[in-house]
Structure 1
Amino acid sequence: MNRATLIAGVAGGLAAGALLAPATGTALGKLERARTAAAGARAAAHAPARAAVPLTAAGLRAPGGNEAAAAAALAQRVKRLAADGGVLVEQAARVPGGEGLVRLRLRLSGPDKAVVALADRIEREAPLLRFASWQVSALAGGGLRVEGEAVAAWR
């Protein structure tokens, strides 16, 4: 190896390094942004679940600290109101309600005026309980049957 070849090789290497420097800087910048995004995603994945936001005001929520307790309390309330009005509760069962909600499948029957009055009391009085779906059918002797699903917020 002579001196001219060595100088040409060093000069060529420096020229190639100078030409590749912008591309290397861009790649390193993209790598840094990708690492930052990955760290943010890991932090979000390991972060505690967000705080439960109340769906309704405290006075309108179903009593109980969870869905099962709220469903039991609401079923008891419906049965008490039905007994006061002379209406038969054929079914008061909990069905999946969603996050912060409790859902009851109700089947009520009795004299027409009493059933209508009971449905009105269920929806008007606190805690807030609304029929999401319902169906009314006539029974023999002037009676009614109301079947439906009622929804309330427990959180």
Structure 2
Amino acid sequence: MNRATLIAGIGGGLAVVALLAPATGTALGKLARAREAVAAMRAAASAPARAPVPLTAAALRAPGGSEAAAAGLLAARVRKLAAEGGVLVEQAAGVPGGAGLVRLQLRMSGPDKAVVALTDRIEREAPLLRFAAWRASALPDGGLRVEGEAVAAWH
């Protein structure tokens, strides 16, 4: 190979590189944008779809830092209201609720009007405590027993 051929080959190669540089730069830019889009999609897919929505307003939720604490405070509230109304609380025990809910297994008995008034008061006053399932049965002495499961939001 002589010098003229080498210079012509190098010159031709540089000319081709100069002509292909814009196309290469465009391709590399597209590749970088595609990688950024893939990274953004992966981040969006791994992130939660939406922020958790509270079940009720803060003023209507059961107080307490945990489900067990909230169940204890609600059971104490039911016992206090029952004592004020002359109703016996035979059972007020927390049951695992999960998903931001507190569940109480309740059994109350006493004079029929007092038990009905207590049940109404429990459901109307804050924090919200609703009977998900309940059963009322008459007692031989003219009283009433209400058994059921009450549910409240705490989280």
Same fold (TM over 0.5): yes
Residue 40 of structure 1 deviates from its aligned partner by 1.9
Q: Which moved more, 1:78-87 or 1:50-59?
A: 50-59
Residue 51 of structure 1 deviates from its aligned partner by 5.1
Letter aligned with residue 83 of structure 1:
A
Residue 53 of structure 1 deviates from its aligned partner by 3.0
Residue 116 of structure 1 deviates from its aligned partner by 0.3
Deviation digits for residues 61-85 of structure 1 (CA, Å, limit 9, x no counterpart): 0011221111011000000000000
5+ unaligned residues in a row in structure 2: which ranges?
1-33
Work out the CA distance in 2 between the residues paired with 1:137 and 1:85: 19
Give SS of 2:109's match. strand
TM-score by length of 1: 0.69
1:66 equivalenced with 2:80 (yes/no): no
2:42 aligned to which of 40, 43, 46: 40
Letter aligned with residue 134 of structure 1:
W
TM-score by length of 2: 0.69
Work out the CA distance in 1 between the residues paired with 2:93 and 2:137: 20
Q: Which residue of 2 aligns with 1:135?
A: 135
Superposed, which structure 2 residues align to 1:1-155 within 5 Å?
36=38, 40=42, 44=46, 52-155=52-155
Letter aligned with residue 113 of structure 1:
K
Work out the CA distance in 2 between the residues paired with 1:70 and 1:49: 28
Work out the CA distance in 1 between the residues paired with 2:108 and 2:144: 8
Count of aligned pairs: 122
Work out the CA distance in 1 between the residues paired with 2:137 and 2:123: 19
Give SS of 2:72's match. helix
Superposition RMSD in Å? 2.7
5+ unaligned residues in a row in structure 1: which ranges?
1-31
Residue 50 of structure 1 deviates from its aligned partner by 6.9
Letter aligned with residue 40 of structure 1:
R
Q: Give me the identity figure in percent.
A: 79
Residue 112 of structure 1 deviates from its aligned partner by 0.5
The structure with the larger Rg is 2
